[in-house]
Structure 1
Amino acid sequence: MHSITSHFQPDASGATPKQLDYLPNLKLSDGNEMPMLGYGLGTANFAKKGAPTDEINNSTVTAIKAGFYHLDGAESYGNEAELGAAIKKSDVDRTKLFVTTKTSCRRGETIEQAFSRSLQKLGLDYVDLYLIHSPFWAEKPEDLVAKWAEMEAIKESGRAKSIGVSNYLKEHLEVILAAKPKYPPVVNQIEYHPYLQHVTDGETGDLLEYLRTNNIAVEAYAPLTAITKAKGGPVDPIYAALAKKYGVTEGEVALRWCLDQGIVAVTTSSNEQRLHAFLSKVPSFKLTPKEVEDIAKAGRQKHYRGFWTNKFKEDDRR
């Protein structure tokens, strides 16, 4: 830990982190840093009818106190107010937290309107990362470019330290990058796990390769899908064997698989013991390159998409 490797910092290139006794931050292309393991307030933490709920508030406070300082929310989850209340209740210095929220690009509404509402609900002066939640609202390529220009204005204002996208495919990013933006997206948050690696044999190519070539960090949501929603596949025995080898859980192997590809992972749990274990166990071991590839190879034998299924054909692996 005292060699030059202790100063190594992963970035959007996808280089694997070195073996450290802590989880490093990933350096984004704009110079800002984000923790490589985040706590998500996604579908498992939807607020009922938009009303604050103690359950969401308390579970988020538990996550923060456990050491999850990377917090991932969105206006569509309906729980920005709960996230903001949890941040306040946790009493953790705001500067130690990395807070993300997302806009859904509602019809007839500007990014400024959406962002101002999100900040108000969060009770914050700024967020660390602001994302466009998906590209599927756009009716034509020009819509993507116009909205990105609005995102750049938010970045310019200083109220979002970094800006990026979520669920974007190569075709959507090509449109934005072709417009030569002053501030290109620094992150693409996508569903990513062994059964959805976004690898195809067609002209669309490999999404991860494209992101890394363009210095866009990969952030995975639903990284535990092979264990939770799609159990009973070819990855199962590999996860089990590696969990036994390293003395960890299969969930911790799944998270490590992402991290060892230089991919940020966002997960969730209301179990305090499990949250503490994620933060203590995941840094305690590292998969070998062969083990990473073994999981990837087995995963490509099965296809499973848990989100945005109405936007893709059943066999679409993009």
Structure 2
Amino acid sequence: MNSETSAFKADASGTAPKQSDYLPNLKFSDGNEIPMLGYGLGTAMSKRGNKDALDEKIINDTLTAIKNGYYHLDGAESYGNEAELGAAISRSGIDRSKLFITTKTSCRPGETIETAFSRSLSKLGVDYVDLYLIHSPFWASSPAELQQKWAEMEALKESGRARSIGVSNFLREHLETVLQTARHPPVVNQIEYHPYLQHAGGLLDFHRERGIAVEAYSPLTAVTKAAPGPVDAVYERVAKKYGVTPGEVALRWCLDQGIVAVTTSSNEQRLQEWRQRLPLFKLTPKEVGEIAEAGLGKHFRGFWNNQFKEDDRR
């Protein structure tokens, strides 16, 4: 096998990574790299109850992930658990330079990006993050407001405290708005992505034309939330062929489209199996296409439903 430093790197073009004995990184348009499998602290890991007290379960689950090689850690201020993520990072003993840390701003009314970012750094206990995202565009009352916030994001990048900057849950029109004035284009758009939400209207093609990487959250939805459905039979058949689980096929389906996958689990065995098995098989282009085609037979959106009509597949 080629060494990790000399091997082919995936990028925003959507080209599938080559077969290797490790999970690769994806190279952003700004030259920085992101591990293609991330551990997310959203949804099930979000903070509940007393917001001021540290949640030891969240800390311990995150420590378990780090211990098992999940160095790409995806958080957000809206999850309420940046302090827990920071505690896990501190307790892990892993050198900061080996970790890839993401957090996101909710763009609270009347608050600057600088204020939100400084608060996040303090909770995380770090002096920089590898990726900082605008969590959604839906708070913006005008294109100009979205462009102003992006300019504030660019200032963070130029300061070096956010190595890369990007967005999350943006549609094409939001990306176009930002790109009109951007000096540093978003390197990534983190979106809900799985066979039942493939974003009609050419969103992925637009990303690839503009060099914007795609990062998928909730990639296991067809297995965990939206079953039964038309992809079940394809997942089962492909899983049997490769000796893996349907969930691992779902993750590999993203990776083999050159898409970063962010998921979570509190089950250590499952975390270990993902790390061990995902590098050992690769879907054929035909299998990627079969899953995509089957997925078009059902529409399911797990998040931001208040922003979309029921039949809106964008």
In which range does the TM-score fall when normalised by the shorter chain?
over 0.9
- Which residue is 2:298 aligned to? 302
Q: Tell whether 2:95 aligns with 1:99.
A: no
Deviations 1:42-70, CA, capped at 9 Å, x for gaps: 01111124231010000000000000000
Q: Trace 1:229-308 onto structure 2 (pairs within 5 A).
A: 229-308=225-304
Q: Tell whether 2:193 aligns with 1:192.
A: yes
Q: Shift of the alpha carbon at 1:301?
A: 0.9
The secondary structure found in structure 1 opposite 2:10 is coil
Structure 2: runs of 5+ lacking an equivalent: none
Q: Shift of the alpha carbon at 1:237?
A: 0.6
Write the distance in 2 (CA, Å) between the matches of 1:7 and 1:80.
34
Write the distance in 2 (CA, Å) between the matches of 1:92 and 1:104.
28
Structure 1: runs of 5+ lacking an equivalent: 200-204
The secondary structure found in structure 2 opposite 1:135 is coil
- Which residue is 1:76 aligned to? 78
The secondary structure found in structure 1 opposite 2:11 is coil
Letter in 2 for 1:197: Q
Letter in 1 for 2:76: A
Letter in 2 for 1:191: E
Q: Trace 1:40-55 onto structure 2 (pairs within 5 A).
A: 40-48=40-48, 49-50=50-51, 51-55=53-57
Q: Tell whether 2:138 aligns with 1:136.
A: yes
Write the distance in 1 (CA, Å) between the matches of 2:241 and 2:101.
35
Alpha carbons of 1:313 and 1:96: their partners in 2 closer, same or farther (altered >3 Å)?
Answer: same
Write the distance in 2 (CA, Å) between the matches of 1:275 and 1:3.
24
Write the distance in 2 (CA, Å) between the matches of 1:263 and 1:136.
24
Letter in 2 for 1:89: R
Letter in 2 for 1:228: T
Write the distance in 1 (CA, Å) between the matches of 2:2 and 2:71.
25
- Which residue is 2:121 aligned to? 119
Letter in 1 for 2:299: H
Letter in 2 for 1:247: G
Q: Tell whether 2:161 aligns with 1:159.
A: yes
Q: Shift of the alpha carbon at 1:209?
A: 0.4
Deviations 1:166-213, CA, capped at 9 Å, x for gaps: 00000000011112x2110000000000000002xxxxx210000110
The secondary structure found in structure 2 opposite 1:194 is coil
Q: Shift of the alpha carbon at 1:255?
A: 0.3
**Count of residues in correspondence between the two structures:** 312
Letter in 1 for 2:25: N
TM-score, length basis structure 2: 0.98
Write the distance in 1 (CA, Å) between the matches of 2:250 and 2:46.
24
Query: Identity of paired residues, percent?
Result: 72
Write the distance in 1 (CA, Å) between the matches of 2:234 and 2:165.
36
Q: Shift of the alpha carbon at 1:8?
A: 1.0
The secondary structure found in structure 2 opposite 1:100 is strand
Q: Shift of the alpha carbon at 1:2?
A: 4.6
Write the distance in 1 (CA, Å) between the matches of 2:151 and 2:3.
43
Write the distance in 2 (CA, Å) between the matches of 1:111 and 1:92.
28
TM-score, length basis structure 1: 0.96
The secondary structure found in structure 2 opposite 1:7 is coil
Write the distance in 1 (CA, Å) between the matches of 2:104 and 2:219.
19
Q: Shift of the alpha carbon at 1:214?
A: 0.4
Q: Trace 1:211-226 onto structure 2 (pairs within 5 A).
A: 211-226=207-222
The secondary structure found in structure 2 opposite 1:218 is strand
Q: Shift of the alpha carbon at 1:260?
A: 0.1
Q: Tell whether 2:95 aligns with 1:89.
A: no
Deviations 1:87-138, CA, capped at 9 Å, x for gaps: 0111111101000000000000000000000000000000000000000000
The secondary structure found in structure 2 opposite 1:220 is strand
